[in-house]
Structure 1
Amino acid sequence: MTDVWELVRDEREALIDDLAGLSDEQWQRPSLCGGWTVHDVAAHLVDNARTTRVGIVVAMVRARSDFDRQNDQGVARAKGASPAETLDRLRAVADRRTTPPAPLDSRLVEEVVHGEDVRRPLGLGRDYPDETVHRSLAHQLRTSVALGGGRQRAAGLRLVATDADLSYGDGPEVAGPAFSLLMVVSGRAQVLEDLSGSGLAQLEAGLSGSR
Protein backbone atom coordinates (compact mmCIF):
# COMPACT_ATOMS: atom_id res chain seq x y z
CA MET A 1 0.00 0.00 0.00
CA THR A 2 1.01 3.60 -0.54
CA ASP A 3 2.50 5.41 2.44
CA VAL A 4 -0.46 7.06 4.16
CA TRP A 5 1.38 10.38 4.45
CA GLU A 6 1.71 10.60 0.68
CA LEU A 7 -2.06 10.18 0.36
CA VAL A 8 -2.66 12.74 3.10
CA ARG A 9 -0.40 15.28 1.37
CA ASP A 10 -2.18 14.72 -1.93
CA GLU A 11 -5.56 15.44 -0.31
CA ARG A 12 -4.26 18.55 1.43
CA GLU A 13 -2.79 19.90 -1.79
CA ALA A 14 -5.96 19.17 -3.76
CA LEU A 15 -8.08 21.03 -1.22
CA ILE A 16 -5.66 23.97 -1.16
CA ASP A 17 -6.03 24.25 -4.92
CA ASP A 18 -9.84 24.27 -4.62
CA LEU A 19 -9.88 26.81 -1.81
CA ALA A 20 -7.52 29.18 -3.61
CA GLY A 21 -10.24 30.22 -6.04
CA LEU A 22 -13.01 30.94 -3.53
CA SER A 23 -14.70 34.29 -3.02
CA ASP A 24 -15.11 35.76 0.46
CA GLU A 25 -18.79 34.76 0.34
CA GLN A 26 -17.91 31.14 -0.43
CA TRP A 27 -15.51 31.00 2.53
CA GLN A 28 -18.43 31.92 4.81
CA ARG A 29 -20.83 29.27 3.48
CA PRO A 30 -22.05 26.57 5.89
CA SER A 31 -20.15 23.33 5.47
CA LEU A 32 -21.53 19.83 6.07
CA CYS A 33 -20.12 20.09 9.62
CA GLY A 34 -22.89 21.39 11.84
CA GLY A 35 -22.20 24.98 12.89
CA TRP A 36 -18.98 25.31 10.90
CA THR A 37 -18.38 27.42 7.80
CA VAL A 38 -15.98 26.50 5.00
CA HIS A 39 -13.46 28.79 6.71
CA ASP A 40 -13.93 26.95 10.02
CA VAL A 41 -13.31 23.56 8.40
CA ALA A 42 -10.13 24.84 6.75
CA ALA A 43 -8.94 26.10 10.14
CA HIS A 44 -9.79 22.74 11.71
CA LEU A 45 -7.61 21.00 9.14
CA VAL A 46 -4.74 23.35 10.01
CA ASP A 47 -5.16 22.54 13.69
CA ASN A 48 -5.51 18.85 12.92
CA ALA A 49 -2.28 18.82 10.92
CA ARG A 50 -0.43 20.52 13.79
CA THR A 51 -1.63 17.98 16.35
CA THR A 52 0.97 15.95 18.22
CA ARG A 53 0.69 13.11 20.71
CA VAL A 54 1.48 15.43 23.61
CA GLY A 55 -0.41 18.39 22.20
CA ILE A 56 -3.73 16.55 22.00
CA VAL A 57 -3.48 15.64 25.69
CA VAL A 58 -2.90 19.29 26.62
CA ALA A 59 -5.76 20.39 24.35
CA MET A 60 -8.19 17.89 25.89
CA VAL A 61 -7.25 19.05 29.40
CA ARG A 62 -7.96 22.65 28.39
CA ALA A 63 -11.29 21.54 26.93
CA ARG A 64 -12.13 19.59 30.10
CA SER A 65 -12.27 16.35 28.07
CA ASP A 66 -15.04 17.67 25.83
CA PHE A 67 -14.20 16.59 22.26
CA ASP A 68 -16.43 19.19 20.58
CA ARG A 69 -15.05 21.97 22.78
CA GLN A 70 -11.52 20.88 21.95
CA ASN A 71 -12.33 21.04 18.23
CA ASP A 72 -13.88 24.50 18.54
CA GLN A 73 -10.90 25.78 20.53
CA GLY A 74 -8.58 24.36 17.88
CA VAL A 75 -10.47 26.17 15.12
CA ALA A 76 -10.18 29.44 17.04
CA ARG A 77 -6.40 28.95 17.44
CA ALA A 78 -5.75 28.01 13.82
CA LYS A 79 -8.09 30.42 12.05
CA GLY A 80 -6.44 33.40 10.43
CA ALA A 81 -7.75 36.96 10.44
CA SER A 82 -8.74 36.40 6.81
CA PRO A 83 -9.35 33.41 4.52
CA ALA A 84 -6.06 34.18 2.77
CA GLU A 85 -4.18 33.88 6.05
CA THR A 86 -5.86 30.58 6.89
CA LEU A 87 -5.06 29.28 3.41
CA ASP A 88 -1.41 30.22 3.91
CA ARG A 89 -1.43 28.28 7.18
CA LEU A 90 -2.93 25.29 5.38
CA ARG A 91 -0.18 25.45 2.76
CA ALA A 92 2.42 25.52 5.53
CA VAL A 93 1.21 22.21 6.98
CA ALA A 94 0.57 20.36 3.70
CA ASP A 95 3.54 18.02 4.20
CA ARG A 96 3.44 17.85 7.99
CA ARG A 97 3.52 14.35 9.50
CA THR A 98 2.53 14.78 13.13
CA THR A 99 -0.36 12.86 14.62
CA PRO A 100 -2.28 12.22 17.83
CA PRO A 101 -2.12 8.70 19.35
CA ALA A 102 -4.46 7.22 16.73
CA PRO A 103 -4.11 4.90 13.70
CA LEU A 104 -2.44 6.72 10.84
CA ASP A 105 -5.36 6.09 8.49
CA SER A 106 -7.38 8.41 10.74
CA ARG A 107 -5.27 11.27 9.31
CA LEU A 108 -6.45 10.31 5.83
CA VAL A 109 -10.10 10.15 6.92
CA GLU A 110 -9.86 13.68 8.31
CA GLU A 111 -8.63 15.07 5.00
CA VAL A 112 -11.09 13.16 2.80
CA VAL A 113 -14.29 13.61 4.81
CA HIS A 114 -13.63 17.24 5.68
CA GLY A 115 -12.54 17.92 2.13
CA GLU A 116 -15.97 16.80 0.98
CA ASP A 117 -17.60 18.76 3.82
CA VAL A 118 -16.24 21.82 2.03
CA ARG A 119 -16.61 20.79 -1.60
CA ARG A 120 -20.19 19.57 -1.63
CA PRO A 121 -21.81 22.85 -0.41
CA LEU A 122 -19.66 24.74 -2.92
CA GLY A 123 -20.64 22.50 -5.83
CA LEU A 124 -17.05 21.35 -6.29
CA GLY A 125 -16.11 17.81 -7.23
CA ARG A 126 -13.05 15.63 -6.72
CA ASP A 127 -12.25 12.22 -8.15
CA TYR A 128 -10.87 10.74 -4.93
CA PRO A 129 -8.33 7.95 -5.53
CA ASP A 130 -9.68 4.43 -4.94
CA GLU A 131 -7.01 3.51 -2.39
CA THR A 132 -7.72 6.66 -0.40
CA VAL A 133 -11.46 5.97 -0.30
CA HIS A 134 -11.17 2.26 0.45
CA ARG A 135 -8.64 2.72 3.25
CA SER A 136 -10.74 5.49 4.78
CA LEU A 137 -13.92 3.40 4.64
CA ALA A 138 -12.22 0.38 6.23
CA HIS A 139 -10.88 2.58 9.02
CA GLN A 140 -14.28 4.14 9.75
CA LEU A 141 -15.98 0.74 9.90
CA ARG A 142 -13.58 -0.58 12.53
CA THR A 143 -13.55 2.61 14.61
CA SER A 144 -16.12 3.66 17.21
CA VAL A 145 -18.29 6.71 16.62
CA ALA A 146 -16.96 8.06 19.92
CA LEU A 147 -13.49 8.13 18.34
CA GLY A 148 -14.67 9.74 15.11
CA GLY A 149 -15.46 6.51 13.26
CA GLY A 150 -18.68 4.94 12.06
CA ARG A 151 -18.77 1.37 13.36
CA GLN A 152 -22.05 1.70 15.23
CA ARG A 153 -23.79 3.37 12.29
CA ALA A 154 -23.08 0.35 10.11
CA ALA A 155 -23.81 -2.28 12.77
CA GLY A 156 -26.28 -4.94 11.64
CA LEU A 157 -26.04 -3.93 7.98
CA ARG A 158 -24.30 -5.24 4.89
CA LEU A 159 -22.60 -2.43 2.98
CA VAL A 160 -21.90 -3.15 -0.69
CA ALA A 161 -19.85 -0.88 -2.94
CA THR A 162 -21.32 -0.67 -6.44
CA ASP A 163 -18.08 0.62 -7.96
CA ALA A 164 -15.60 -1.78 -6.36
CA ASP A 165 -15.33 -5.37 -5.19
CA LEU A 166 -16.00 -4.41 -1.57
CA SER A 167 -18.58 -5.49 0.97
CA TYR A 168 -18.72 -5.28 4.75
CA GLY A 169 -20.92 -6.78 7.46
CA ASP A 170 -24.09 -8.85 7.49
CA GLY A 171 -27.75 -7.88 7.51
CA PRO A 172 -30.06 -5.77 5.37
CA GLU A 173 -28.15 -4.35 2.42
CA VAL A 174 -27.11 -0.78 1.72
CA ALA A 175 -25.51 -0.35 -1.69
CA GLY A 176 -23.83 2.59 -3.38
CA PRO A 177 -20.48 4.07 -4.41
CA ALA A 178 -17.69 3.39 -1.91
CA PHE A 179 -17.18 7.11 -1.37
CA SER A 180 -20.85 7.60 -0.46
CA LEU A 181 -20.64 4.67 1.95
CA LEU A 182 -17.63 6.36 3.56
CA MET A 183 -19.47 9.64 3.95
CA VAL A 184 -22.64 8.13 5.36
CA VAL A 185 -20.87 6.02 7.99
CA SER A 186 -19.02 9.23 8.88
CA GLY A 187 -22.39 10.81 9.72
CA ARG A 188 -23.16 12.73 6.53
CA ALA A 189 -26.84 12.26 5.66
CA GLN A 190 -26.42 14.37 2.52
CA VAL A 191 -25.26 11.30 0.56
CA LEU A 192 -28.27 9.12 1.35
CA GLU A 193 -29.68 9.89 -2.11
CA ASP A 194 -26.69 8.02 -3.58
CA LEU A 195 -27.61 4.81 -1.74
CA SER A 196 -30.25 2.11 -2.01
CA GLY A 197 -31.26 -1.17 -0.39
CA SER A 198 -33.45 -2.70 2.28
CA GLY A 199 -31.17 -1.43 5.07
CA LEU A 200 -31.32 2.22 4.05
CA ALA A 201 -34.07 3.19 6.50
CA GLN A 202 -32.15 1.57 9.36
CA LEU A 203 -28.99 3.42 8.40
CA GLU A 204 -30.79 6.74 8.11
CA ALA A 205 -32.39 6.27 11.54
CA GLY A 206 -28.95 5.96 13.10
CA LEU A 207 -27.52 9.12 11.62
CA SER A 208 -26.91 12.31 13.54
CA GLY A 209 -24.93 15.49 12.92
CA SER A 210 -21.22 14.84 13.10
CA ARG A 211 -17.82 16.45 12.76
Structure 2
Amino acid sequence: MGTTTNGALWALAHAERAALAEDLAALEPGQWRHQTLCGRWDVEQVVAHLIAAASLNQWQWLRSMLGARFNPGVHNQRRLQDHVGATPEETLDRFRTIVYSTTAPSSHTAAYLGEVLVHSQDIRLPLGLGRVPSVEALTPVAEFFARHDFAVDSKSNAAGFELRADDGPFAAGDGDLVTGTTLALVMAIAGRQAYLEDLEGPGVPALAARISGR
Protein backbone atom coordinates (compact mmCIF):
# COMPACT_ATOMS: atom_id res chain seq x y z
CA MET A 1 0.00 0.00 0.00
CA GLY A 2 1.42 3.40 -0.96
CA THR A 3 3.79 5.44 1.18
CA THR A 4 1.28 7.27 3.40
CA THR A 5 2.64 7.24 6.94
CA ASN A 6 0.68 6.08 9.96
CA GLY A 7 0.64 9.62 11.33
CA ALA A 8 -0.67 10.98 8.04
CA LEU A 9 -3.43 8.35 7.99
CA TRP A 10 -4.55 9.35 11.48
CA ALA A 11 -4.51 13.01 10.48
CA LEU A 12 -6.78 12.19 7.55
CA ALA A 13 -9.10 10.20 9.83
CA HIS A 14 -9.29 13.11 12.25
CA ALA A 15 -10.11 15.53 9.44
CA GLU A 16 -12.86 13.26 8.14
CA ARG A 17 -14.37 12.80 11.62
CA ALA A 18 -14.36 16.58 12.08
CA ALA A 19 -16.09 17.02 8.72
CA LEU A 20 -18.74 14.48 9.67
CA ALA A 21 -19.30 16.20 13.03
CA GLU A 22 -19.88 19.46 11.16
CA ASP A 23 -22.47 17.80 8.92
CA LEU A 24 -24.19 16.15 11.88
CA ALA A 25 -24.47 19.46 13.73
CA ALA A 26 -26.75 20.76 10.96
CA LEU A 27 -29.21 17.84 11.04
CA GLU A 28 -32.86 18.27 11.96
CA PRO A 29 -34.10 15.99 14.76
CA GLY A 30 -35.95 13.66 12.39
CA GLN A 31 -32.87 13.14 10.25
CA TRP A 32 -31.17 11.28 13.09
CA ARG A 33 -33.76 8.53 12.58
CA HIS A 34 -33.19 8.34 8.82
CA GLN A 35 -32.17 4.99 7.37
CA THR A 36 -28.54 4.73 6.25
CA LEU A 37 -26.68 2.50 3.80
CA CYS A 38 -25.52 0.47 6.81
CA GLY A 39 -28.21 -2.17 7.07
CA ARG A 40 -30.80 -1.61 9.78
CA TRP A 41 -28.90 1.19 11.57
CA ASP A 42 -30.21 4.73 11.51
CA VAL A 43 -27.97 7.81 11.55
CA GLU A 44 -27.58 7.96 15.32
CA GLN A 45 -26.71 4.29 15.52
CA VAL A 46 -24.00 4.62 12.88
CA VAL A 47 -22.53 7.57 14.79
CA ALA A 48 -22.58 5.52 18.00
CA HIS A 49 -20.82 2.71 16.16
CA LEU A 50 -18.09 5.13 15.08
CA ILE A 51 -17.69 6.27 18.70
CA ALA A 52 -17.33 2.66 19.81
CA ALA A 53 -14.79 1.93 17.09
CA ALA A 54 -12.61 4.81 18.30
CA SER A 55 -12.93 3.83 21.97
CA LEU A 56 -11.67 0.23 22.07
CA ASN A 57 -8.07 -0.80 22.35
CA GLN A 58 -6.85 -4.28 21.45
CA TRP A 59 -7.67 -5.88 24.80
CA GLN A 60 -11.06 -4.19 25.14
CA TRP A 61 -11.95 -5.33 21.65
CA LEU A 62 -10.80 -8.87 22.37
CA ARG A 63 -12.83 -9.07 25.59
CA SER A 64 -15.89 -7.79 23.77
CA MET A 65 -15.45 -10.30 20.95
CA LEU A 66 -14.98 -13.12 23.45
CA GLY A 67 -18.19 -12.07 25.16
CA ALA A 68 -19.92 -12.08 21.79
CA ARG A 69 -18.45 -15.53 20.95
CA PHE A 70 -16.61 -13.87 18.05
CA ASN A 71 -19.86 -12.83 16.37
CA PRO A 72 -19.07 -9.36 14.92
CA GLY A 73 -22.75 -8.45 14.66
CA VAL A 74 -23.34 -9.11 18.35
CA HIS A 75 -20.13 -7.29 19.30
CA ASN A 76 -20.99 -4.25 17.18
CA GLN A 77 -24.55 -3.99 18.47
CA ARG A 78 -23.48 -4.24 22.11
CA ARG A 79 -20.75 -1.65 21.80
CA LEU A 80 -23.01 0.66 19.79
CA GLN A 81 -25.54 0.62 22.62
CA ASP A 82 -22.80 1.69 25.04
CA HIS A 83 -22.36 4.96 23.17
CA VAL A 84 -25.85 6.08 22.14
CA GLY A 85 -26.75 9.16 24.13
CA ALA A 86 -30.09 10.01 25.71
CA THR A 87 -30.60 12.40 22.78
CA PRO A 88 -28.97 12.84 19.38
CA GLU A 89 -27.30 15.96 20.72
CA GLU A 90 -25.65 13.91 23.44
CA THR A 91 -24.55 11.30 20.91
CA LEU A 92 -23.02 14.07 18.80
CA ASP A 93 -21.22 15.46 21.86
CA ARG A 94 -19.80 11.99 22.48
CA PHE A 95 -18.70 11.75 18.87
CA ARG A 96 -16.89 15.07 19.14
CA THR A 97 -14.82 13.67 22.01
CA ILE A 98 -13.31 10.98 19.76
CA VAL A 99 -12.61 13.13 16.69
CA TYR A 100 -8.88 13.14 17.48
CA SER A 101 -8.68 9.67 19.02
CA THR A 102 -5.99 7.27 17.84
CA THR A 103 -7.38 4.37 19.87
CA ALA A 104 -7.88 1.24 17.78
CA PRO A 105 -7.79 -2.54 18.25
CA SER A 106 -4.88 -3.01 15.82
CA SER A 107 -2.29 -1.18 13.74
CA HIS A 108 -4.37 -1.30 10.53
CA THR A 109 -4.82 2.47 10.45
CA ALA A 110 -5.96 2.56 6.81
CA ALA A 111 -8.84 0.28 7.80
CA TYR A 112 -9.95 2.68 10.55
CA LEU A 113 -9.70 5.61 8.17
CA GLY A 114 -11.83 3.52 5.82
CA GLU A 115 -14.40 2.93 8.54
CA VAL A 116 -14.81 6.67 9.00
CA LEU A 117 -15.03 7.31 5.26
CA VAL A 118 -17.50 4.53 4.49
CA HIS A 119 -19.81 5.20 7.43
CA SER A 120 -19.76 8.94 6.73
CA GLN A 121 -21.09 8.24 3.25
CA ASP A 122 -23.52 5.67 4.67
CA ILE A 123 -25.04 8.68 6.41
CA ARG A 124 -24.56 11.40 3.81
CA LEU A 125 -25.87 9.75 0.67
CA PRO A 126 -29.36 8.89 2.00
CA LEU A 127 -29.66 12.37 3.52
CA GLY A 128 -28.57 14.10 0.32
CA LEU A 129 -25.55 15.73 1.96
CA GLY A 130 -23.11 16.80 -0.71
CA ARG A 131 -19.78 16.64 1.11
CA VAL A 132 -17.46 13.87 -0.08
CA PRO A 133 -14.09 12.76 1.34
CA SER A 134 -10.91 13.90 -0.32
CA VAL A 135 -9.15 11.75 -2.90
CA GLU A 136 -6.09 12.04 -0.65
CA ALA A 137 -7.99 10.24 2.11
CA LEU A 138 -9.76 7.78 -0.17
CA THR A 139 -6.70 6.51 -2.06
CA PRO A 140 -4.92 4.69 0.80
CA VAL A 141 -8.27 3.20 1.82
CA ALA A 142 -8.89 1.96 -1.73
CA GLU A 143 -5.41 0.40 -1.78
CA PHE A 144 -5.98 -1.29 1.59
CA PHE A 145 -9.49 -2.49 0.70
CA ALA A 146 -8.27 -4.03 -2.56
CA ARG A 147 -5.71 -6.12 -0.66
CA HIS A 148 -7.49 -7.04 2.57
CA ASP A 149 -10.77 -8.40 3.87
CA PHE A 150 -10.88 -6.47 7.14
CA ALA A 151 -14.27 -5.52 8.63
CA VAL A 152 -15.68 -5.57 5.09
CA ASP A 153 -15.15 -8.23 2.37
CA SER A 154 -13.55 -5.71 0.07
CA LYS A 155 -10.70 -7.88 -1.23
CA SER A 156 -13.15 -10.68 -2.01
CA ASN A 157 -15.49 -8.23 -3.74
CA ALA A 158 -12.63 -6.76 -5.79
CA ALA A 159 -11.07 -10.07 -6.82
CA GLY A 160 -11.00 -10.69 -10.56
CA PHE A 161 -11.54 -7.06 -11.57
CA GLU A 162 -9.25 -4.30 -12.76
CA LEU A 163 -10.22 -1.31 -10.64
CA ARG A 164 -9.16 2.10 -11.90
CA ALA A 165 -10.03 5.52 -10.47
CA ASP A 166 -10.76 8.31 -12.93
CA ASP A 167 -10.07 11.10 -10.41
CA GLY A 168 -6.88 9.90 -8.73
CA PRO A 169 -3.97 7.45 -8.82
CA PHE A 170 -5.71 4.34 -7.48
CA ALA A 171 -5.46 1.24 -9.69
CA ALA A 172 -5.46 -2.40 -8.66
CA GLY A 173 -6.19 -5.90 -9.87
CA ASP A 174 -6.60 -7.74 -13.15
CA GLY A 175 -9.69 -8.75 -15.06
CA ASP A 176 -12.72 -6.95 -16.40
CA LEU A 177 -12.36 -3.20 -16.01
CA VAL A 178 -14.37 -1.22 -13.48
CA THR A 179 -13.80 2.54 -13.47
CA GLY A 180 -15.22 5.49 -11.56
CA THR A 181 -14.35 7.91 -8.83
CA THR A 182 -12.18 6.68 -5.99
CA LEU A 183 -15.17 7.17 -3.69
CA ALA A 184 -17.47 5.01 -5.82
CA LEU A 185 -14.86 2.25 -6.03
CA VAL A 186 -14.25 2.28 -2.28
CA MET A 187 -17.95 2.22 -1.46
CA ALA A 188 -18.77 -0.47 -4.03
CA ILE A 189 -16.10 -2.92 -2.90
CA ALA A 190 -17.21 -2.19 0.67
CA GLY A 191 -20.55 -3.64 -0.43
CA ARG A 192 -22.59 -0.47 -0.92
CA GLN A 193 -24.82 -1.14 -3.93
CA ALA A 194 -25.98 2.48 -4.14
CA TYR A 195 -22.62 3.45 -5.62
CA LEU A 196 -22.69 0.96 -8.48
CA GLU A 197 -24.53 3.46 -10.68
CA ASP A 198 -21.46 5.71 -10.49
CA LEU A 199 -19.21 3.03 -12.02
CA GLU A 200 -18.56 2.11 -15.65
CA GLY A 201 -16.86 -0.70 -17.51
CA PRO A 202 -17.47 -4.29 -18.56
CA GLY A 203 -16.90 -5.59 -15.04
CA VAL A 204 -19.74 -3.64 -13.42
CA PRO A 205 -22.52 -6.24 -13.92
CA ALA A 206 -20.41 -9.01 -12.37
CA LEU A 207 -19.36 -6.75 -9.47
CA ALA A 208 -22.99 -5.82 -8.91
CA ALA A 209 -24.01 -9.49 -8.84
CA ARG A 210 -21.21 -10.29 -6.41
CA ILE A 211 -21.98 -7.63 -3.82
CA SER A 212 -25.72 -8.25 -4.02
CA GLY A 213 -25.13 -11.96 -3.34
CA ARG A 214 -26.61 -13.16 -6.62
**TM-score normalised to structure 2 length:** 0.93
> Does 1:49 pair with 2:49?
no
Q: 1:148: Cα distance to partner?
A: 2.3
Deviation at 1:149, TM superposition (A): 4.3
Match of 1:33 in 2: 38
Corresponding residue number in structure 1 for 2:72? 67
The answer for the alignment partner of 1:164 in structure 2 is 168
- 1:5-154 superposed matches below 5 A: 5-144=10-149, 147-154=151-158
CA distance in 2, matches of 1:104, 1:161: 22
Q: What secondary structure does 1:160 align onto?
A: strand
- Rounded Cα–Cα distance in structure 2 between residues aligned with 1:174 and 1:148: 19
Q: Which moved more, 1:112-121 or 1:93-102?
A: 93-102
Structure 2: runs of 5 or more not aligned: none
Contact 1:161 1:175 in 2 (8 A): yes
How far apart in 2 are the matches of 1:182 and 1:77? 29
Q: CA deviation at 1:47?
A: 0.5
The answer to whether the Cα contact below 8 Å between 2:65 and 2:75 also exists between their aligned partners in 1 is yes
Gaps of 5+ in 1: none
Residue by residue, what CA displacement relative to the aligned partner does 1:30-52 show, whole Å, maximum 9, x if unpaired? 01000000010000011011010
Aligned-partner residue type, residue 203 of structure 2? G
Maintained 8 Å contact 1:27/1:83: yes
Q: Which amino acid aligns with 1:83?
A: P
Give, as a single letter, the amino acid of the residue that structure 2 aligns with 1:193.
Answer: E
Q: Which whole-Å CA distance do the structure 1 matches of 2:169 and 2:71 have between them?
A: 39
CA distance in 2, matches of 1:136, 1:120: 19
Asked if the contact 2:17–2:99 (Cα under 8 Å) also holds between the matched residues in 1, the reply is yes
1:196 corresponds in structure 2 to 200
Q: Show CA shifts across 1:106-155 (max 9, x none).
A: 1100110000000001100224222201011111111116x424001011
The 1-side partners of 2:90 and 2:183 are apart by 31
Summarize the Cα distance change of 1:102–1:148 in structure 2 as closer, same or farther, 3 Å threshold: farther
Q: Is the 8 A contact 1:141 1:149 kept in 2?
A: no
**In structure 2, distance between residues paired with 1:149 and 1:99:** 19
Aligned counterpart, 1:175:
179
Residues 160-203 of structure 1: per-residue CA shift (max 9 Å, x gap): 11112332111111111111000000000001110111111110
Aligned-pair identity (%): 37
Poorly superposed stretches of 4+, deviation over 6 Å: none
Cα deviation digits, residues 13-45 of structure 1 (max 9, x gap): 100000001111100000100000001000001
Q: Tell me how many residue pairs correspond in the alignment.
A: 208
